[in-house]
Amino acid sequence: MKPAEEELSAPELLAFLSERGGQEYSVVLVTPVAPARKKHPGSAAERPRPLYRLIRRGAAVQATGPAGLTRQLSQAAFLQVFGAHRFAELTPTGQLSDLGPLFGAP
Protein backbone atom coordinates (compact mmCIF):
# COMPACT_ATOMS: atom_id res chain seq x y z
CA MET A 1 0.00 0.00 0.00
CA LYS A 2 1.18 3.51 -0.75
CA PRO A 3 2.43 5.72 2.09
CA ALA A 4 -0.03 8.27 3.48
CA GLU A 5 2.02 11.14 2.00
CA GLU A 6 1.23 10.11 -1.58
CA GLU A 7 -1.98 10.76 -3.46
CA LEU A 8 -4.40 7.85 -3.74
CA SER A 9 -7.06 7.17 -6.35
CA ALA A 10 -10.62 6.39 -5.20
CA PRO A 11 -10.17 2.58 -5.67
CA GLU A 12 -6.82 2.70 -3.82
CA LEU A 13 -8.46 4.64 -0.98
CA LEU A 14 -11.29 2.08 -0.76
CA ALA A 15 -8.74 -0.74 -0.50
CA PHE A 16 -6.82 1.18 2.18
CA LEU A 17 -9.99 1.81 4.20
CA SER A 18 -11.12 -1.82 3.78
CA GLU A 19 -7.94 -3.00 5.48
CA ARG A 20 -8.73 -0.64 8.38
CA GLY A 21 -12.51 -1.02 8.61
CA GLY A 22 -14.09 1.02 11.36
CA GLN A 23 -11.19 3.48 11.71
CA GLU A 24 -11.89 7.04 10.56
CA TYR A 25 -9.41 8.88 8.35
CA SER A 26 -9.37 12.49 7.25
CA VAL A 27 -8.38 13.04 3.64
CA VAL A 28 -7.98 16.06 1.41
CA LEU A 29 -9.85 15.87 -1.88
CA VAL A 30 -7.63 16.76 -4.83
CA THR A 31 -9.70 18.24 -7.65
CA PRO A 32 -9.03 16.79 -11.10
CA VAL A 33 -6.76 18.90 -13.25
CA ALA A 34 -8.77 21.09 -15.59
CA PRO A 35 -7.58 21.93 -19.11
CA ALA A 36 -4.80 24.52 -19.13
CA ARG A 37 -6.15 28.02 -18.54
CA LYS A 38 -4.76 31.28 -17.33
CA LYS A 39 -4.49 31.45 -13.58
CA HIS A 40 -6.72 34.13 -12.13
CA PRO A 41 -6.75 35.31 -8.52
CA GLY A 42 -9.03 32.99 -6.56
CA SER A 43 -8.42 30.08 -8.95
CA ALA A 44 -8.69 26.50 -7.74
CA ALA A 45 -4.93 26.38 -7.09
CA GLU A 46 -5.32 29.08 -4.43
CA ARG A 47 -8.52 27.82 -2.78
CA PRO A 48 -8.31 25.45 0.18
CA ARG A 49 -8.91 21.83 -0.74
CA PRO A 50 -11.95 20.16 0.85
CA LEU A 51 -11.37 17.88 3.83
CA TYR A 52 -13.43 14.70 4.17
CA ARG A 53 -13.67 12.18 7.02
CA LEU A 54 -14.13 8.61 5.81
CA ILE A 55 -14.85 5.29 7.53
CA ARG A 56 -15.30 1.94 5.80
CA ARG A 57 -18.26 0.23 7.49
CA GLY A 58 -18.83 -3.21 6.03
CA ALA A 59 -19.77 -2.76 2.37
CA ALA A 60 -20.43 0.99 2.79
CA VAL A 61 -18.27 4.06 3.19
CA GLN A 62 -19.40 6.69 5.66
CA ALA A 63 -18.30 10.04 4.24
CA THR A 64 -18.53 13.34 6.11
CA GLY A 65 -17.89 16.34 3.90
CA PRO A 66 -16.56 19.82 4.62
CA ALA A 67 -20.07 21.09 5.52
CA GLY A 68 -20.47 18.35 8.16
CA LEU A 69 -23.06 16.38 6.19
CA THR A 70 -22.61 12.62 6.58
CA ARG A 71 -23.69 10.05 3.98
CA GLN A 72 -23.48 6.28 3.74
CA LEU A 73 -22.27 5.37 0.24
CA SER A 74 -22.03 1.97 -1.39
CA GLN A 75 -18.70 1.19 -2.99
CA ALA A 76 -20.23 1.85 -6.44
CA ALA A 77 -21.71 5.19 -5.31
CA PHE A 78 -18.38 6.22 -3.73
CA LEU A 79 -16.57 5.50 -7.00
CA GLN A 80 -19.23 7.34 -9.00
CA VAL A 81 -18.97 10.45 -6.81
CA PHE A 82 -15.22 10.47 -6.18
CA GLY A 83 -13.81 8.38 -9.04
CA ALA A 84 -12.30 11.34 -10.92
CA HIS A 85 -10.57 12.66 -7.80
CA ARG A 86 -7.43 11.79 -5.92
CA PHE A 87 -6.94 11.95 -2.18
CA ALA A 88 -3.99 13.30 -0.20
CA GLU A 89 -2.91 13.89 3.39
CA LEU A 90 -4.48 10.65 4.65
CA THR A 91 -4.51 10.95 8.45
CA PRO A 92 -6.13 8.76 11.12
CA THR A 93 -8.48 10.82 13.30
CA GLY A 94 -8.43 8.39 16.21
CA GLN A 95 -12.20 7.87 15.91
CA LEU A 96 -13.64 4.39 15.55
CA SER A 97 -17.13 3.58 14.35
CA ASP A 98 -19.17 0.87 15.95
CA LEU A 99 -17.78 -2.32 14.48
CA GLY A 100 -21.11 -4.13 14.17
CA PRO A 101 -21.41 -3.69 10.38
CA LEU A 102 -18.04 -5.38 9.95
CA PHE A 103 -19.39 -8.49 11.64
CA GLY A 104 -22.79 -8.60 9.99
CA ALA A 105 -24.76 -6.85 12.74
CA PRO A 106 -27.18 -4.07 11.69
**pLDDT tens sequence across 63-78:** 999 999 999 999 999 9
Q: Looking at residue 27, what DSSP letter applies?
A: E
The span from the CA of 43 to the CA of 29, in Å, is: 16
pLDDT 10s per residue in the chain (106 long)? 454 568 999 999 999 998 887 889 999 998 775 555 555 555 555 566 889 999 988 889 999 999 999 999 999 999 999 999 999 999 999 877 765 555 554 4
Beta carbons of 83 and 75 less than 8 angstroms apart? no
Q: Which amino acid is at 53?
A: R
Tell me the β-bridge partners of 27. Answer: 52
Give pLDDT, residue 39: 57
Select the CATH number that applies to the domain covering 1-31+49-95 from these four: 2.40.160, 1.10.150, 2.30.30, 1.10.3470: 2.30.30
Burial class (CB in 10 A: 0-12, 13-18, 19+), 54: buried
